[in-house]
Structures are given as C-alpha cells and as structure tokens.
Amino acid sequence: MSEIPKAYEPGKIEKKWYDFWLKRGYFTPKIDPNKKPFVIIMPPPNVTGELHLGHALTATLEDIMVRWHRMKEEPTLWLPGTDHAGIATQVVVEQQLAKQGQTKEEIGREEFIKLTWEWADKSREDIRHQHQLLGASCDWTREKFTLDESPSKAVRTAFVRLYNKGLIYRGERMINWCPRCQTALSDLEVEHKDIVGHLYYIRYPLTENEGFVTVATTRPETFLGDTAVAVNPEDRRYKNFTGKSVTLPIIDKEIPIIADAAVDTSFGTGALKITPAHDATDFEIAQKHNLPLVNIMHPDATMNENAGPYQGLERFACRDRVLADLKDKNLLEKIEPYSHSVGHCYRCQTMVEPRVSLQWFVQTEPLARAATEAVKDGRIKIMPERFRKIYFDWMGNIKDWNISRQLWWGHRIPVWYCRDCGKLTVSVDKPSACTHCSSKQIIQDPDVLDTWFSSALWTHSTLGWPEDTDDLRYFYPGSVMGTGYDILFFWVARMIMMGLENMGKVPFHTVYLNGLIRDESGQKMSKLRGNVINPAEAINKYGVDALRFALTTGTSPGNDINLGTDKLESGRNFVNKLWNATRFILQSLYEEGLEAQAIPILPGQPQRIEDQWINSQLNRLIKDVAELMQDFQFGEAEQQIYDFVWSKFCDWYIEIAKIRLRGQLTPSPLPFLVNTLENSLRLLHPFMPFITEELWQSLKVRLLRPDITGGCNDTTKMPASIMIAPYPLADERSFAPEAEQVMNSVIEIVRSIRNARAQYKVKPGKWIEARVYTGELLSGLINEAHIIETLAKACPLAILSRQKREPTKDKALVLVLKGTEVVLPLAGMVNKLAEEQRLLKEGKEIKGRISQLESKLRNNDFLNKAPSQVIEREKQKLAMLEDKLKRLHKELAQLDSPSAGS
C-alpha cells in the first residue's frame, strides 16, 4: 500500500544518496561574483589513522553550516584535506618498522619516506571514505594534502618571505628535545604532567675552606654539567660565599659561586646549581654571567664524554649511580618527596630534555601583535567569547616559535649551506649554485619544518597561494573556522598570524570552537578506560543520522559533550518517528485517492483551529531556528526542531488528523500534514541529511510533480534534491495566537484527564464522563470538543461557560487548570468499594512504616551512633510518609464527599 518499506534501513539509503549528490556535483560551488560565498576550509585530519568522534563532531557541525548556507542559495565551498602530521606520522611508521625489527636508520631516509607516503596515501583514502560515510558535503574536486605541490610551494614561499623580512632566523637556543624522536619540539608540543618525584640535597665542598654549600635539585645527575652555583645577593646566609668556589664531587671540577637576583631564596637551600645546557632558567642566568655551557648528554639522552665515569649510561641509570656515589661520600644530605611538573613529548610521551641547540625560529612578536589586533577590533569573532581572553593572554606572552624538526617526514627547510663561502642560500626553488659565490658545493638543510607551519598557511595555501588564482580571489577569506578548542594555539592563532602576514587580510571571520567529547558520565574517552565509541561502529549500528543527532543536539559552542548509547538510541528513535509519520501521511494520501494536483504544497488559509495552530507553530519554529543558526546555536536549533516534530506534530497534530481522516471530515487535514512534514524535512536536512532526503523524495514523487507550481514556497520547479531546495522562511502572517491558546488548552485538558485516568486506573477503552468549564476559550473549545472527546476518551463531554458553574452535586474529581476546570464524576471512574479498600490497605501499611521510623528516631542508641546524614535521611523519609498519608486521607474523603479540588 504505502510506497516506503515498514522499517528504515540506514545503510542502503546513505550510500545511495551520497552517490546521487556527488554525481550531480552539488558539493562543488559555482563562482558567482554577484554573491558572497560561504566558505569553510576543513581542519585537515592527520594521516595517522582512523577518524575519531572528535573529527566526526567537527565534520558534522561544519556540514550543518555548509548545508544550511547552500540551501540559502549562497555559493558554498567546504574544502577538504589532510595533514601530513610530521612527527605524529613518523612515530606511527617507526612503530610499524619496529614490529618488523627494523629502524628508520637501517632502511635510510629515501626508503623511509617512500614507506611513509604509502601509509599516508592509504590513510588519506580511509579519511576520505569516513567523511563520505558521515555525509560530509565537501568539494572533493578541491581536496588538498599539506605535502601536495601547491601547498608545499606555499610553505617554501612563506619561509623565504619571512626570512627576507628578518622574521625567521637561525640561532642556538634552549629548546625542548625529545630523546626518543630525536627532534626539537615547540613549547606547544610539550605536555606537562605532574610527577611525584624527589628533591635531592647535595653537598658541594668549598674549594678553599672547610664546609659545603648544599644545593637542592630534582635531577641530581645534571650536576655533571654544572658551571656555577648561584645565590641571591640579598640572602644573608650566603653573604660571605659570593666570589668563592666549590668543587664538584666525583669529577673534581671547580665552579664559581655567583650572585643573581633571579635566584629564589625560598626554594631548597637558596643556593641554586646552574646547569646551563640542560635547563632553560639556568641557560638565561648563564648568558648573563658568561658562564660556559657543558652538555653532558648525547641526543638520545645517554651520558656523553663530559659525564666522566658515567659516560654511556642512560640518563635515569646515571641518576641511580650518581646518588649511590654521593651517598658513599656522605655528600647526599637528605631526600624529600617533591611534586613538580615535567614536560613530555606530545607524540611519544618520553620525558623531554631541555637542550641547547642550533635551530630555526620564527620571531612571533610582530605577527602576534597583528593577530591580537584582529580579534580585538572584531574582524575575527571567537565563539564562545570566553576564549578571547585566553587568546589574548597567550598572544601577549608568546615566545619565538621553533620551527625546525630533526625529522624526515615533512617539508624540507628551503635553505642551502655553501661549503665554500659558508653562506646560506634561501630559496623557493632548488638553487643550482650558491647565490653568494656561485659555488656548486651547496647542501640542503637536513631538517624539516614543524607540521604546524604548513597548517598555519592552510586557509590560503589550499586556494592556490602564492599564485593569484580565481579561487583565492573569490573564496578568501573564509567564513568560519570550526575546530576543537584544544588546538586554539597550535593552529587557529597561527593561521590568523600567517593569514594576516601573507594575505594582508584575516583568514576567516568567525572561529567556532566546539567542545570535546566525553562519555555519558563526563569522563574523557580513552582506550584505557574502554569507553571509546568508534564512529564507524556507531554508524553501523544506529545509522549516520542518529550519530550526527547524538553528537550535536542540545550542544552549544565550547562546551564538552557527553555521549553515550542513550543519545544514539534517541537519535535512532527520532529517525524512526519521522519514518513512521511519513509513512502514515503517504498512506493517507493513497487511501484518500488523492491525485497529486489535489494537494497543493502551500495549503492556503487554514480554517480549523488545529490547522491554524500547527501552521503557526511551524512558522514560529522556522523563525526561531533561523535566529539560532545565525547565532551558531546549532544544537539548540536542532533540539527545537526535534521537540516540534516529536511532540507537536507527531504526538498531537497527527493524532488529531487521524480522527478527522477516520471521520472523513472536511476540510481534510492532508494539505497541512504534507506542508508541515515537507517543511520539517527541509529544516532538518542540514542536521540529518540522509533520512530527510529519502523521505522528501518519497513525498516528492507522490505529490509534487516537477511541473506543478507552488512547491517549496516558490512557484518554480521542484528541485531534484532536498539539499538544493531552499531553506524554509518564516511567514509571520501565519502566527495565530488565538488558535494557539485554544490548542494549548485542548492539550492541557486531554493531558489532565489522561493523568486522572491513569491515577484511578481506569481501563484504556472505558469512556468516562467529563465537564469542562471555561471562560473566553469557550467557543474555541466547543469547536474542538470532538477532539477532546476522542483523545481523552471522555463521553459524555460537556463544555460549559464558567459562569454556569454550579456546586458539584455528585462525587467528582475537580482538576483546576489554566483558565478552565475539568470535573470528572467519580461514579463512572471508580468502583467505590474496591477503591476504598485499596486506599485503606495502603494507609495501614504506611502507618506501620511511620511508627517503625518514629521509634527508630526516638532510640538514643541509634541517634548517638549513626552518622548525621543517615539520621537526616530517616527524618526525610518520615516526613515523606506522613505527607503521603495525608494525601491518602484526602482521596478517601473525596470518595465520600461530593467534590474536592486536586
């Protein structure tokens, strides 16, 4: 009979429609100089593996924005891509190699890069496929990879320009070093963890006199690289020590005692050991005092020749040996427990080693100043606003950005060193000779750039920069940059800096920061906890639309999202609700034998109150949704559509329509059923693209032949797909406050009668008598009497003016509602004797429990021993039972007396 199957099977439908959209080129925008485009450049996922829920969330939110703007008939570009993710990918491939017992050094740079490309290509394909599963309507014809030729050229160009402007320099600085990855890391790539460690007090014997200076340190092994002991000049304890020297134990090395105001007198003993090559603060002090640097470790954090007898030991093994030796010599004064924060590599979790090293840096201060200004003056809006302050703080304290990495996977630094004259050639294209002396003896810097350097250019490198392309001219700057708040600095801040620097214009107008996904109890999802939801599995089980619904409904920018199976289930239930509603409507059309022409999509002026009501509510919804979407409150917009469709449309309007269809009453509700459904589907499309397309298409073939005018609030042809149909526009002339008042009252009356029936356990099929007394709504309610009667199973039903209200003579339940009173004579509802007995029996039970509790609360033994919360709980229980007993008495009284309020 009906034209769609009984149950919804997402798998079949999703693939069908995605291919349909893709084939028709709907994702590819046309450049139209007369229209302002809507542009999102997708945050490129790392080619390290599968997409997780965080990606699914970002992609869903962006797809919602993009589909919405596309339906508003704006040229809409959502440009997808992937990131080579330097260190992260290199670590993954190294781990793969390790499983086969190999290292990257064994196979060599060229072979390693070849392997990594294979990994990346496979991974990019998976990522593309997963985005397509999610329904992401991005323009695959413009897909980019950070290592593609054009973005790579952008990277080299940006480097050369910044170098020529003096904003990129090479210098020996203290950097963060990962001994496992054997590369430098930027400050952002270091994760700080609180470690419960120790503070070791070590005695350094004075060189000339008897006695010691005791220093406190968390890293005793680094004493081998000490080049001074510093004290605060104000510190009286060390007044006579400055200028003298101590001798480092075991290696017998004399180092000076110096005074520096930077020394914190409250830490340890107030005497600070200075290890300039292995600590950032010490490095600064050493610079001021011209102290030598002594590096005691190899890049892999084993001890080098400067470590004397400890040479060759790994850093922690060395610590154990040093402590044992100091103890032997009685130079270890004491050990205290000590918690402190220690940096770890964000990719492999190895403890980071501060290290002085020759690296490339971006001088960020001038770039940061411009980027701060752009947010301050409103050229860029950050959502939610509370992240503005965090952004300003970070920008205000920004340090130079270390951009060189001792890795193989990434953009090679475009710098060549000359063997003859020693000078540098910095060039976008590979030079054939030194630009200074024309020597052919030039060699490229072996390092690659920080992966975030190329990500920082993403907003314009994807559109063809540095070339002056049509895409760049039309689609830059982007509209929205949506991403998790966790990469605000890594990425968003740097995109703003580089966009302004390279393009002279902000890269986007709005930064939309979404929250992170946690499990249903608010815990972070992790493999260790076993609470990870895999997007592909969720899609398999619940369908894409249900997953998208679960990820976004009711959420707001910047707030974390708790996601559990209950949310996925309610997503699936919603899809089923839509499916069943559509089936019902299609079936009704069929049964009515209505030809397409008979159902205009714009149903004309509604005559009946419930039609006016649903039409009014629909238009209010359309208006609210537009405002919420404008305000980036997508989760709330979706919630409102859900509430409307589920309760107002399905639970009430369709139920009412069924009564009218069964009774073949005129006018038919079908035009309003169709119109409300069709508009709801279009409203929902950006959120749940597949189910809406499927249902809309079924509706379309049944109803809306392409040649019929009047479709979709428009007089032209119906579009081929819901995704290119216009987004609904509110018609405020449809607002009908009076009809809404009546229908609110109808709903309230039906609900209250249903509740009373449930309370008195009236059998579902039984009709009960009801009298409704009302004021100004009288004529409206009389019009709807038939509906109240059927939905509440109330017959005979009298709707009367409140002025005619007489004291109730029979025993009845009186429900006092807003502006109306409902009187339900009890005779028809209750078997008095049985009800009386039930209430008496329940009363007896409650009384028994009350006396038990009372005696417990009089018992001193209990009162003295039990914790106060327990006593409090018992008291509350007692109060509750007493309350319940009171209500029971009232119900008993109602059985006997003619009327009682409730």
Residues that bind Zn ion (CB under 5 A): 178, 180-181, 345, 348, 350, 418, 420-421, 434, 436-437, 439
Q: Would you put residue 323 in left (φ > 0), alpha (ψ -120 to 50) or beta?
A: alpha
Quick check: helix, strand or coil at residue 416?
strand
Q: Which of these, 217, 202, 510, 520, lies nearest to 380 by C-alpha position? A: 510
CB of 626 vs Zn ion, minimal distance in Å: 48
Helices and strands per DSSP (H, E), number in the chain? 28, 30
Amino acid, res. 277: A
CB of 578 vs Zn ion, minimal distance in Å: 49
CB of 434 vs Zn ion, minimal distance in Å: 3
CB of 440 vs Zn ion, minimal distance in Å: 9
| Chain-centre distance for alpha carbon 483 | 8
Q: Pick the closer one to Zn ion by CB: 420 or 537.
A: 420
Q: Pick the closer one to Zn ion by CB: 345 or 496.
A: 345
CB of 124 vs Zn ion, minimal distance in Å: 24
CA dist., res. 881 & res. 786, Å (int): 41
Q: Pick the closer one to Zn ion by CB: 95 or 876.
A: 95
Residue 169's DSSP bridge partners are: 361
CA dist., res. 145 & res. 412, Å (int): 16
CB of 345 vs Zn ion, minimal distance in Å: 3
| Chain-centre distance for alpha carbon 209 | 64
CB of 428 vs Zn ion, minimal distance in Å: 19
Q: Pick the closer one to Zn ion by CB: 47 or 88.
A: 88
Q: Pick the closer one to Zn ion by CB: 421 or 853.
A: 421
HEC profile of 26-55: CCCCCCCCCCCCEEEECCCCECCCCCCHHH
CB of 110 vs Zn ion, minimal distance in Å: 23
Dump strand ranges (E) for 401-557: 401-402, 404-405, 415-418, 424-426, 442-444, 448-449, 478-484, 508-514, 517-519
Half-sphere exposure of 422 (CA within 13 A, CB side): 0
CA dist., res. 804 & res. 774, Å (int): 10
Q: Pick the closer one to Zn ion by CB: 374 or 433.
A: 433
Q: Pick the closer one to Zn ion by CB: 299 or 309.
A: 299
CB of 300 vs Zn ion, minimal distance in Å: 11
CB of 627 vs Zn ion, minimal distance in Å: 48
Q: Which two tokens stand for residue 454?
A: 């190329």
Q: Which residues have CB under 8 Å from 619's CB, separation 6+?
A: 730, 731, 732, 734, 735
CA dist., res. 542 & res. 565, Å (int): 10
Q: Which of these, 492, 458, 481, 532, lies nearest to 144 by C-alpha position? A: 458
CB of 418 vs Zn ion, minimal distance in Å: 3
Q: Pick the closer one to Zn ion by CB: 345 or 375.
A: 345
Answer yes or no: are the C-beta atoms of 134 and 535 closer than 8 Å: yes
Q: Pick the closer one to Zn ion by CB: 420 or 627.
A: 420
Sheet containing 271-274: order of strands = 245-248, 253-259, 228-231, 271-274
Rounded to 10 degrees, what is the CA torsion of 679, 684, 686, 689?
-100
Q: Pick the closer one to Zn ion by CB: 420 or 486.
A: 420
Answer yes or no: are the C-beta atoms of 413 and 360 closer than 8 Å: yes
User: Locate tokens 């992401």: which residue?
Assistant: 136
Sheet containing 478-484: order of strands = 381-383, 508-514, 478-484
Handedness of CA 860, 866, 867, 872 (dihedral sign): negative
Q: Pick the closer one to Zn ion by CB: 418 or 492.
A: 418
Radius of gyration of the chain (CA): 37
Q: Pick the closer one to Zn ion by CB: 219 or 436.
A: 436
CB of 188 vs Zn ion, minimal distance in Å: 14
Q: Pick the closer one to Zn ion by CB: 79 or 434.
A: 434
Q: Pick the closer one to Zn ion by CB: 20 or 417.
A: 417
- Angle between helix axes 10-23 and 535-542 (nearest 10 degrees) is 110
CB of 311 vs Zn ion, minimal distance in Å: 24
Rounded to 10 degrees, what is the CA torsion of 589, 591, 593, 597?
0
Q: Pick the closer one to Zn ion by CB: 350 or 565.
A: 350
CB of 103 vs Zn ion, minimal distance in Å: 15
Handedness of CA 131, 136, 140, 146 (dihedral sign): negative
Residues in the chain: 902
Answer yes or no: are the C-beta atoms of 780 and 738 closer than 8 Å: yes
Answer yes or no: are the C-beta atoms of 582 and 684 closer than 8 Å: no
CB of 433 vs Zn ion, minimal distance in Å: 8
